[in-house]
Amino acid sequence: PGNFRRRSEEDDDDAEPLTGGRIRKGQRVLVNTKSAAEGQFVVQSTGNVSDTYDLAKKLGDGTFGTVYLGFHKTSNAERAVKAMLKDGLDAAMLRRETELLMSLDHPHIVRLFETFEDSKKVYLVMDLCLGGELFHRIVACGHFTEVQASVVMSQLLSGVKYLHEMDVCHRDLKPENCLLTSKDALANNCLKIIDFGMSCVAHKGTVMKKRVGSPLYIAPQVLMGRYTRSCDIWSCGVIMYIMLC
Which pLDDT tens digit goes with each residue over 96-143?
889 899 999 999 999 999 999 988 899 999 999 999 999 999 999 999
- Of all helices (H) and strands (E), which one includes residue 60? strand 53-61
DSSP readout, 122-160?
Answer: EEEEE---TTEEHHHHHHHHSS--HHHHHHHHHHHHHHH
pLDDT (average), residues 225-229: 97
Same domain, 66 and 82: yes
Identity at 51, one-letter amino acid code: D
Convert 63-75 into a string of H (helix), E (strand) and C (coil): CCCEEEEEEECCC
CB count in 10 Å sphere of residue 2: 4
Question: Whose CA is closest to 103, among 161, 176, 17?
Answer: 17
Catalytic-residue membership of 172: yes
Whether 82 has a binding-site annotation, put simply, is yes
Distances (CA, A) of 50 to 57, 83, 89, 118, 148: 13, 12, 22, 11, 40
Tell me if 68 is assigned to some domain.
Answer: yes
Residues spanned by the domain of 112: 44-126
Judged against a pLDDT cut of 70, whether residue 218 lies above it is answered with: yes
Cα 171 versus chain centre, distance: 11
| Cβ-contact 204, 215 below 8 angstroms | no
Same domain, 94 and 176: no
Q: Virtual CA dihedral for 26, 29, 32, 33, nearest 10 degrees?
A: -100
Same domain, 52 and 144: no
Same domain, 102 and 170: no
The one catalytic residue among 127, 172, 184, 195 = 172
Q: How confident is the model at residue 46 (pLDDT cuts 50, 70, 90)?
A: low
- Residue 115 DSSP SS3: strand
- Residue 46 DSSP SS3: coil
Same domain, 122 and 161: no
Residue-averaged pLDDT of the chain = 84
Domain count, the chain: 2
Comparing 80-89, 126-135, 155-164, 209-218, the range with the smallest average pLDDT is: 80-89
Residue 207 phi, psi dihedral angles, 5° rounding: -100, 125
Judged against a pLDDT cut of 90, whether residue 212 lies above it is answered with: yes
Same domain, 201 and 97: no
Judged against a pLDDT cut of 60, whether residue 82 lies above it is answered with: yes
Please name the residue ranges forming H helices in the chain.
33-38, 49-52, 91-103, 134-141, 146-165, 220-224, 231-244
**Residue 16, pLDDT score:** 52
**Residue 14, pLDDT score:** 60
> pTM for this one?
0.81
Question: Whose CA is closest to 78, among 162, 1, 170, 182?
Answer: 182
Judged against a pLDDT cut of 90, whether residue 17 lies above it is answered with: no
Same domain, 57 and 157: no
pLDDT over 90 percentage in the chain: 69
Residue 144 phi, psi dihedral angles, 5° rounding: -95, 155
Same domain, 229 and 137: yes
Which pLDDT tens digit goes with each residue over 148-188?
999 999 999 999 999 999 999 999 999 999 999 999 999 99
Domain termination site, one of 106, 126, 146 = 126
**Residue 170, pLDDT score:** 97
Judged against a pLDDT cut of 90, whether residue 58 lies above it is answered with: yes
